[in-house]
Structure 1
Amino acid sequence: ERELRLFGRLLRRAGCLRACKRELPVFQLRYPPAQTLRDFQRRLPYQYLHYALFKCNKLEKAVAAAHTFLQKNPAHEMTLRYLHYYRTMVDVDEHLVDLEAQPYEPIFVRAVKLYNGGDFRSSAAHMEQALAEYYKAYESCLAGCEGARELQDFKDFYPAVDCEAELTPNVGGYFVEKFVATMYHYLQFAYYKRECGGGGGGAAAVPVPRAARPAVNDVRNAVQSVASYMLFDPGDAVMQQNLVYYRFHRQRWHLQEEDFQPRPEAVRYHNQTAAQRMMLDFAQQHLQADDEMEVDGDEEPDTRDLPSDGEFEGEGDYEEGFVAEWWQEPRTKGDKDEEGNR
């Protein structure tokens, strides 16, 4: 019944938007073919652009275009070979710029580097900014899914399901799985570890002495980050252990039951993405026989250039040094030395 109610709400909204769009000339324009949209989503134009720029002897721009293409197609062997070739001609690292990077991506990378350097206060601030920018990008992606076309009823949530995957960043040749959960993961440890007097200023992390243990607000933020993370990965044994740790010490930090609730924006995002996946599963199981759900043969994606499973094997071919360091969040709550000083 829940699926049917969701579809009913979706269809009513589709009908309302269709009526509104009939009155606006811009929505009468022909919408690009589905294959063209898929090509742009996979950044295929950059595959041709980098080669054209190379032929024009604009190597710096060719490097940026090739790197931008590889962010969505990290296992594309031909482009990787071109990038290796460019390394023999110019200082490639200086021009490895993702021309379509989302605003939250460099902020996230900066937050991780600050965390690894022990500056937990600055890391938490940057990660909060990255999280806010991600949510804005997600809402913008959902709005863009409606497009300048007449809605086709319940099929319109299909592109919306792609937003989560489309916004997943590529760091050092690897896609960051469960990106939103990962940001809450870092926030939990950054808030717990940051000292009352400020960040570590890039110094290595050390056991926190009794006089410099986290402030109450920091712990509250840490607990809410744990609860938010658990929305996306409730079976994570380490986070379950951390939650038990915080509950055991709740009186010490004056924590109330409401402090153990996930953050509102995390709940909203989780519910939204879960509902979209549920509707997609329902449609795939019960609605595929409808003629309206059939896809024309000429709209099938061209699989010749799709990345293979090789993108998940071995180390990346670029930014290798960074990927070896960024994925180093702690696995347990506190160090043994910390526990011994309490």
Structure 2
Amino acid sequence: MARTAWGLLWLLLGSAGAQYEKYSFRGFPPEDLMPLAAAYGHALEQYEGESWRESARYLEAALRLHRLLRDSEHEDEWARELQLFGHVLERAACLRRCKRSLPAFQVPYPPRQLLRDFQSRLPYQYLHYAQFKANRLEKAVAAAYTFLQRNPKHELTAKYLNYYRGLLDAAEEPLTDLEAQPYEAVFLRAVKLYNSGDFRGSTEDMERALAEYLAVFARCLAGCEGAHEQVDFKDFYPSIADLFAESLQCKVDCETNLTPNVGGYFVEKFVATMYHYLQFAYYKLNDVRQAARSAASYMLFDPADSVMQQNLVYYRFHRARWGLEEEDFQPREEAVLYHNQTAELRELLDFAHMYLQSDDEMELEEPEPPTEPEEPPSDAEFEGEGDYEESIYADWWQEPDAKGDEAEAEPEPELP
């Protein structure tokens, strides 16, 4: 009898031990998987109904599911993860202090689509017509031109611009981009000095344009870390990844949004183009050390450029003549930083699009192209004066008398 009792006790203890073993999410029996809330809720219902066996069975199942949820995480990376989120908590605490003391941080953050509209300069499509109706033609010209600088193929706004300039008889007057970044004018001046043969002046302005662009680019990246709207209930890591992917898209777009438009054409590979000019201008000034470093910097962005490859071969062949060391053939520090930063941002975004977009828990949005509405703004927003297009076109539109063209503001720069 005693042996039987001890055997039963060991059997009970053994089953209790199995109840509290650690489970791996890879090896948990699929037939035992169910939502924890459902298992526990059913157990309590059976408990209230005094179905003791059924209640006990589901209470044990709920405990097992809870341990699966709690104990199956891999723990090898805990120190690194705590360090990472420690930095996140520190930045969050800093921002919270700013919000308490600075009124600008207390204004609600705008929705992401509204920010995209402003990045594509959509408000200027409304503003130029509003200024025209208010009989402020100079401001209408500036607003229309500002919109076209980001949306150069928008034919309707281009027609409006020519019409406004015709009314002012100012077809030859220079146009003003109200959103122009400081580096744009400096870059254009550097190109003009280069084309005129003033290579010293060109290098000075080009170096300044490069530094100013990188500063604006850094501010753009920082601006992508603003508030984000959280609309879905998600697991911890998918939620973090979703917010990070949205920030990544904004940061990748910085390079595109900051590319200047010269004479209706966006300057492709803008940073590389500046190093291209610097390489040749420094060579003309007989500063071969800076020329070689500029060439190496350019090659980061366009390693297949055969002309620049030949230039580097030429510099290396005559290295003894100019006293060049191996370090003189290394890219400049800021070029390496910018290249690595933009390349890694694109790689991470590509990874997010490839591996996170199809996840049922993720709703990673496709990036939207800059807004170029085919239909002009409705007059309902301008004191109800009828249809936006008909209110102007029906009276006067045959062909504007203005001589200028939206692409005549500046010639496309000639590359060396």
TM-score by length of 1: 0.78
Q: Distance in 2 between matches of 1:182 and 1:304?
A: 27
Equivalent position of 1:50 in the other structure? 128
> In the TM superposition, what whole-angstrom CA distance separates every residue of 1:170-207 from its partner, at most 9, and x where no partner exists?
0000000000000000000111113xxxxxxxxxxxxx
- Give the direction of change, closer, same or farther, for the CA distance of 1:304–1:224 in structure 2 (3 Å limit): closer
Equivalent position of 1:261 in the other structure? 330
Structure 1 stretch displaced more, 153-162 or 131-140: 153-162
Equivalent position of 2:351 in the other structure? 282
Could you tell me whether the CA contact under 8 Å between 1:223 and 1:246 is conserved in 2? yes
Shift of 1:35: 1.4
The within-5 A match list for 1:165-204 is 165-194=256-285
Equivalent position of 1:340 in the other structure? none
The within-5 A match list for 1:21-60 is 21-23=95-97, 24-25=99-100, 29-60=107-138
Amino acid at match of 1:99: L
301, 315, 318: which one pairs with 2:406? 318
Could you tell me whether the CA contact under 8 Å between 1:108 and 1:126 is conserved in 2? yes
Could you tell me whether the CA contact under 8 Å between 1:38 and 1:301 is conserved in 2? no
Shift of 1:154: 4.5
Q: Distance in 2 between matches of 1:291 and 1:19?
A: 32
Q: Distance in 1 between matches of 2:183 and 2:114?
A: 26
97, 106, 122: which one pairs with 2:185? 106
Structure 1 stretch displaced more, 96-105 or 79-88: 79-88
Q: Distance in 1 between matches of 2:304 and 2:322?
A: 26
Q: Distance in 2 between matches of 1:156 and 1:10?
A: 17
> In the TM superposition, what whole-angstrom CA distance separates every residue of 1:224-251 from its partner, at most 9, and x where no partner exists?
0000000000010000000001011111
- Give the direction of change, closer, same or farther, for the CA distance of 1:300–1:30 in structure 2 (3 Å limit): farther
Amino acid at match of 1:146: E
Equivalent position of 1:336 in the other structure? none
Structure 1 stretch displaced more, 26-35 or 105-114: 26-35
Shift of 1:287: 1.2
144, 147, 151: which one pairs with 2:226? 147
Off by >6 Å, runs of 4+ in structure 1? 7-12, 299-302
The answer as to 2:315 corresponding to 1:246 is yes
- Give the direction of change, closer, same or farther, for the CA distance of 1:154–1:45 in structure 2 (3 Å limit): closer
Q: Give the unaligned 5+ runs of structure 2.
A: 1-76, 230-239, 376-403
Could you tell me whether the CA contact under 8 Å between 2:121 and 2:150 is conserved in 1? yes
The answer as to 2:92 corresponding to 1:18 is yes
Shift of 1:304: 5.9
> In the TM superposition, what whole-angstrom CA distance separates every residue of 1:94-143 from its partner, at most 9, and x where no partner exists?
35100010010000000000001111110011000000000100111111
Amino acid at match of 2:91: L
The answer as to 2:344 corresponding to 1:270 is no
> In the TM superposition, what whole-angstrom CA distance separates every residue of 1:241-274 from its partner, at most 9, and x where no partner exists?
0000101111110111100000000000001001
Q: Distance in 2 between matches of 1:13 and 1:290?
A: 28
> In the TM superposition, what whole-angstrom CA distance separates every residue of 1:272-330 from its partner, at most 9, and x where no partner exists?
00110110011111111345641589x978966179xxxxxxxx942437425x22x33
TM-score by length of 2: 0.64
Could you tell me whether the CA contact under 8 Å between 1:250 and 1:256 is conserved in 2? yes
Could you tell me whether the CA contact under 8 Å between 2:353 and 2:364 is conserved in 1? no
Q: Distance in 2 between matches of 1:173 and 1:300?
A: 21
Could you tell me whether the CA contact under 8 Å between 1:73 and 1:306 is conserved in 2? no
Could you tell me whether the CA contact under 8 Å between 1:192 and 1:219 is conserved in 2? yes
Q: 1:96 is paired with a residue of what secondary structure?
A: coil
Name the count of aligned residue pairs.
292
Bigger Cα Rg: 2
Q: 2:406 is paired with a residue of what secondary structure?
A: coil
Could you tell me whether the CA contact under 8 Å between 1:168 and 1:175 is conserved in 2? yes
Amino acid at match of 1:108: F
